[in-house]
Amino acid sequence: MNNEYDNERFFEEYAKMPRSRDGLSAAGEWHQLKPLFPLLQGKTVLDLGCGYGWHCFFAAEQGAVRVLGLDLSRKMIEEAEKRHAGQQIEYRVCGIEEYEYPENRWDCVVSNLALHYIEHIENVFQKVHRTLKPGGVFLFNIEHPVFTAGVGQDWIYTETGKPQYWPVDHYFIPGERSTRFLGCDVVKQHHTLTQILMGLLNNGFELEAVEEAEPPAEMMSLPGMKDELRRPMMLLVKAAVRK
Ligand SMILES: C[S@@+](CC[C@H](N)C(=O)[O-])C[C@H]1O[C@@H](n2cnc3c(N)ncnc32)[C@H](O)[C@@H]1O
């Protein structure tokens, strides 16, 4: 499977992002995602699309006894092994679609900004439900449907180059979207809000929290951050398996 994160140029551009240099505290969603984590002391955690392994390391710091980070990109996994190794943490080059999802194995499954690369997201929901223990939590952050349905996933600009508005089109047609991200062509997958939330409910999950990321006040002085209040970019969902 083709993954832009293994492309040398894209990988280098990704490494320059604040979240890549400074980690979770530099991620606009972290102040909302962090409080949604269940207690991880003594728990097992699976991270789908772990990237550099920030969330795996966080889970280990919180006392998780076993953490598995999966990513399709060999380069991202190598980076995770360099930056966020730990006795309890294993990293594996593996697609989210390909992992075996053993029944009743994990206490928490987390996925940050990776599920919008998955076409058949409902299949993943079904497998995550199977691999979670009773009472287990699935916590994810996915690009928001208003963002993924954005035309070219970019603003319409004024003549002077200021973002004028965010165009949304073909909202009810899920599937592939060709985008420009970090100067490269990147294919993402659009899912409607109904597909995401009903996909969870139809596969046996209970919804515990749904949030749309808004950058915190202290980040407002950073370039472009004020525009993040003009349309939602990320959808955070906490879903649980019945006890
Ligand atoms: C925006 S990065 C997020 C990384 C990490 N979760 C974080 O928040 O720092 C998206 C990650 O998803 C991975 N990815 C994309 N498609 C994937 C797939 N089908 N299976 C596994 N990983 C995938 C990419 O390689 C990349 O590391």
Q: How far is CA 114 from CA 126, 140, 159, 218, in A?
A: 17, 9, 34, 26
- Phi/psi of residue 62, each to 5°? -80, 0
Main-chain dihedrals φ then ψ at residue 28, nearest 5 degrees: -60, -20
DSSP assignment, residue 173? Answer: -
Residue listed under structure tokens 């930056």: 83
Close Cβ partners of 113 (under 8 Å, ≥ 6 residues apart): 49, 141, 142, 143, 234
Distance separating alpha carbons of residues 104 and 65, to the nearest angstrom: 16
Predicted confidence band at 64 (pLDDT cuts at 50, 70, 90)?
A: very high
pLDDT of residue 5: 87
2: pLDDT strictly greater than 80: no
DSSP code, position 50 = -
The model scores a pTM over 0.95:
yes
Q: For residues 174 and 191, what is the distance between their CA atoms, to the nearest angstrom? A: 5
C-alpha 139/C-alpha 114 separation (Å) is: 12
The DSSP bridge partners found for residue 168 are 150
Length of the chain: 243
Residue 1 pLDDT grade (very low, low, confident, very high; cuts 50, 70, 90): low
Ligand 1 mean position to 114 CA, how many Å?
4
d(CA 42, CA 68): 14
- Is residue 71 predicted with pLDDT exceeding 70? yes
For position 218, what pLDDT does the model report? 92
Whole-number pLDDT of residue 20:
92
Mutate to test the pocket of ligand 1, among 96, 98, 234 (most ligand atoms within 8 A of CB): 96
For residues 224 and 214, the model is more confident at 214
Q: Which residues pair with 89 in a beta bridge?
A: 67
Instruction: Supply the pLDDT for residue 224.
Output: 87
Residue ID of nearest Cα to ligand 1 atom 18:
95
Residue to mutate, 13, 19, 76, 119, ligand 1, most ligand atoms under 8 Å from C-beta: 76
Distance between CA 95 and CA 8 in Å, rounded? 19
Residue 106 and residue 133 in contact, taking contact as beta carbons nearer than 8 Å: yes
User: What's the whole-number mean pLDDT along residues 113-140?
Assistant: 98
Measure the CA–CA gap between 129 and 137, rounded to whole angstroms.
9
Q: Which of 140, 135, 124 has the alpha carbon at shortest distance from 55?
A: 140
Ligand 1 atom, smallest distance to 47 CA: 6
Q: Is the CB of 80 under 6 A from ligand 1?
A: no
pLDDT above 80 (res 221): yes
Least confident segment among 42-51, 103-112, 222-231: 222-231
Q: Report which of residues 43 and 13 the model is more confident about.
A: 43
Measured from the CB, is residue 49 less than 6 Å from ligand 1?
A: yes
- Class in CATH terms, 4-241: alpha beta
